C-alpha cells in the first residue's frame, strides 16, 4: 500500500509533508479529503474522527494527523 496522505488543497502543512517525503525520496499517494467525501470518510476511519490534515497513513496503519514539530494542520 505504501504511504498515503489525505490533504486539503492549499494547506501549508500538507505542503511541508510533501516537501519532507520528497526530500527523502519517498513516493506517496495523495487524496483530497476536503472535496472527496468518500476519502474524507476513509481519513476519519484512520484518524478516529480527527479532521486535521495532512492525515498520514503508512501500509494501512495510521501514523499521524498534522505535520511539523509539534504536528500542526
Burial (CB count <10 Å: 0-12, 13-18, 19+), residue 62: middle
**How far from 37 is each of 21, 27, 40, 44, 59, CA to CA, in Å?**
25, 24, 5, 10, 22
Answer whether 53's CB lies under 8 Å from 32's CB. no
pTM score of the predicted model? 0.93
Q: In the chain, where are the structural domains located?
A: 3-65
pLDDT per residue over 11-36, tens digit each? 999 999 999 999 999 999 999 999 99
CATH 3.40.30.10 fits 3-65, yes or no: yes
What whole-number percentage of the chain has pLDDT above 70?
Answer: 97
pLDDT (0 to 100) of residue 69: 81
pLDDT band at 68 (very low <50, low <70, confident <90, very high): confident
Q: Where are the beta strands (DSSP E) in 1-73?
A: 3-7, 28-32, 55-58, 61-65
Per the CB < 8 A criterion, the answer to whether 4 and 28 are in contact is: yes
Amino acid at each position: 500500500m505504501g504511504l498515503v496522505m489525505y490533504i486539503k488543497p492549499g494547506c501549508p502543512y500538507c505542503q511541508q509533508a510533501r516537501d519532507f517525503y520528497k526530500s527523502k525520496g519517498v513516493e506517496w499517494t495523495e487524496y483530497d479529503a476536503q472535496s472527496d467525501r468518500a476519502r474524507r470518510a476513509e481519513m476519519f476511519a484512520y484518524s478516529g474522527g480527527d479532521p486535521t490534515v495532512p492525515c498520514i497513513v503508512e501500509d494501512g496503519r495510521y501514523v499521524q494527523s498534522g505535520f511539523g514539530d509539534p504536528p500542526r494542520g
